[in-house]
Amino acid sequence: MTTGTLLAVDLVLAVLTAAAWLGGGAAAAVRRRPLALALAAFALLATLSRAITIVALARAGWWFAAEKVLVAAPLSLAAVAVAGPRLLPVPGDVRSVAVPLLFVGYATSSALLVTVLHGYPASVGAGLLAVAGAVAATAVSWRALGARPSRAISRVALVVAVGALVTGTGLTVVPAAPVVPHDHGYRAARTTDEPTRRFTLTAGTATVSVSGRDVAAWAFDAQVPGPELTATVGDVVEVTLRNRDIGRGVTLHWHGYDVPNSQDGVPGVTQAAVLPGQEFVYRFRADQVGTYWYHTHSVSDVGVRMGLYGVLVVRPGPVAGLDVTIPVHTLAGRPLPDARVERVAAGTPVRLRLVNTDSTTHRYAVAGSAFRVAAIDGVDLRGPTSVVDTAVLIPAGGRYDLVFDAPATPVALFVDGRAVYSTGPVSTPPGDWPVLDPLSYGVASAVPWSRFDRTFTLVLDRGLDLHDRLPRYAHTVNGATDPDIPPQVVRLGDVVRFTIVNRSATVHPWHLHGHHVLVLARDRRPAAGSPLWLDSFDVRPGEVWEVAFRADNPGVWANHCHNLAHADAGMTTHLMYS
Ligand SMILES: [Cu+2]
């Protein structure tokens, strides 16, 4: 069983346990004796069986079980211990065990809320809140059922509740937001004699056609995707961004391109958003070959979804054969691009540059030919072998370059089962093919570092964020949301290791700006294939990724989930050079 499944099973078990205790209490209150006893027996069994799932989760990693071990288990067991003597032997009037049963139910429920609303790391405040909730709910039920809890119990409940509210919600101490300085120091080198590729991109509202229907979009040069920017390695790329009428501002972030910090295009961190009527000139040297993309980073969730993105391809030189770029996107609920057919002579070398510009994973499959994965996230793989009838999953923001020599018969690329590109009439769509695991594809080589100067752990989860004006159910990193997540501070030259843990039930495509990271391990299994230098990787529910990089690009860099709705809902942190 995967850790993700285990997390789900444990959650279901916790819900059933709480429901059974509460149901037993309610049945006892209305004197449904057999039902009350049956539910109580089931609840006791479920409470004890959670020991199995909690221990299994703790073995998968402390991050998955911390609050269950420290809050849920002690609270449930203590409640059972307190209520137990009042339950046995079962009195003649079953109504008299209603309050003890409800008490265990409230204790189990509030522990469950700690998992759902607070998560990792476990805190004393969250534990106290859970206790206070259980005690307060029990006191109310006690009164409602006609009995009167003693004054002493009521006072204790009140004190615990107030204390817990203050410590648990952090109302007393609101952590100061980390200072994320704007980078004004760097000025991209002015060069005069180097070949310069100049582009101008004008952002504006537009109406574009998607599969025959007109939809409202935000677009660069009135097209979605924006113009494809191409360069040859060594060129200087100079892009003038103009904003015609995007009221919420626009920037250009060069996704996967490790540009100088001042050119990274993150509003509030490396520059101010470009407002209507303004312009900003980006300038950087194209020293990385490969497939990349650009997109706005201003209100990025809305901006990218509405169409403010395009492809950036840097080639080593003239291209032999066919070199096709296929950025996949969902605009107004409809898939882009439209299907395209291109006749190709047999024997022609073909490179399909696949780009996922959406916020969720896409499944790609090539039918009709074996292929190799030549590069991932712009970086060539070592010793890629030929595979056939195999799908690849590309995370949000990720890129795969697939290469093959065109056979005499048609080849087709499918994205989530839809033909997107083909070299002739499509024969058979892909079946339920196995998925390529890049961690065991290609030829391995030794990790270039044996020690790490800095290590950081990012635990991804959901939780209640009370620091805004309105409480929200946010996407959290180590229990906090942007801008309250402490930055990861490194020095120039440090070898840095990140452990990224997904405790939640959704995929988080992780994306560090300004650096490619080398994958060391996933779920404690070392990467066994070609070195994988990634800028975007899916951390699925229950997964633990270990990645590392050398801190060689000074500045303040966004380090965030590339499901941009998650990023905007708190899941954004920063890597900062001291
Ligand atoms: Cu996410």
Q: What is the DSSP string of 354-414?
A: EEE-SSS-EEEEEESS-BEEEEETTEEPSSPPPB-S-EEEE-TT-EEEEEEE--SS--EEE
Using the mean position of ligand 1's atoms as its centre, give its distance from the Cα of residue 391 in Å: 23
Using the mean position of ligand 1's atoms as its centre, give its distance from the Cα of residue 510 in Å: 7
Question: What angle (nearest 5°) sits at the alpha carbon of residue 292, between those of residues 286 and 295?
Answer: 105
Using the mean position of ligand 1's atoms as its centre, give its distance from the Cα of residue 503 in Å: 11
Backbone φ and ψ of 319, nearest 5°: -95, 135
Residues 252, 257, 396, 505, CA torsion sign: negative
Is the pLDDT at 192 greater than 50? The verdict is yes
pLDDT at 124: 86
Give per-residue pLDDT as tens, 72-98: 999 999 998 888 888 878 778 888 889
Is the pLDDT at 193 greater than 80? The verdict is no
Using the mean position of ligand 1's atoms as its centre, give its distance from the Cα of residue 352 in Å: 27
Contacts of 529 (CB under 8 A, 6+ apart): 381, 437, 438, 439, 440, 441, 442, 443, 444
Q: What mean pLDDT is predicted for residues 196-208?
A: 97
- Residue % of the chain over a pLDDT of 70: 92
CA 190, distance to chain mean position in Å, is: 37
Using the mean position of ligand 1's atoms as its centre, give its distance from the Cα of residue 275 in Å: 28
Using the mean position of ligand 1's atoms as its centre, give its distance from the Cα of residue 192 in Å: 42
Contacts of 45 (CB under 8 A, 6+ apart): none
Distance CA 261, CA 185 (A): 10
Distance CA 229, CA 410 (A): 29
Give per-residue pLDDT as tens, 413-443: 999 999 999 998 876 778 889 999 999 999 9
Distance CA 572, CA 556 (A): 13
- Give the residue with greater pLDDT, 180 vs 248: 248
Give per-residue pLDDT as tens, 147-179: 666 666 667 667 766 766 666 554 434 444 444
Q: What mean pLDDT is predicted for residues 217-223?
A: 98
Two tokens, residue 56:
């299994």
Distance CA 45, CA 52 (A): 12
Backbone φ and ψ of 440, nearest 5°: -130, 30
Is the pLDDT at 182 greater than 70? The verdict is no
Using the mean position of ligand 1's atoms as its centre, give its distance from the Cα of residue 554 in Å: 25
Using the mean position of ligand 1's atoms as its centre, give its distance from the Cα of residue 348 in Å: 40
- Say what the pTM is: 0.91
pLDDT at 561: 97
Q: What mean pLDDT is predicted for residues 354-366?
A: 97
Mean pLDDT, the chain, as a whole number?
91
Using the mean position of ligand 1's atoms as its centre, give its distance from the Cα of residue 476 in Å: 9
Q: Is residue 228 within 8 Å of 222, Cβ to Cβ? A: no
Q: What mean pLDDT is predicted for residues 269-274?
A: 96
Using the mean position of ligand 1's atoms as its centre, give its distance from the Cα of residue 571 in Å: 7
| Buried-exposed string 355-388: b where 16+ CB fall within 10 A, e elsewhere | bbbbbebbebbbbbbebbbbbbbbbbbeebeebe
Q: What mean pLDDT is predicted for residues 119-138?
A: 87
Which residue's entry shows tokens 């994320």? 180
Using the mean position of ligand 1's atoms as its centre, give its distance from the Cα of residue 318 in Å: 38
3-state secondary structure (DSSP) of residue 255 = strand
Where is 64: in which H helix or E strand?
helix 62-67
Please name which of 178, 32, 158 lies closest in space to residue 482, comparing C-alpha atoms: 178
Using the mean position of ligand 1's atoms as its centre, give its distance from the Cα of residue 196 in Å: 37
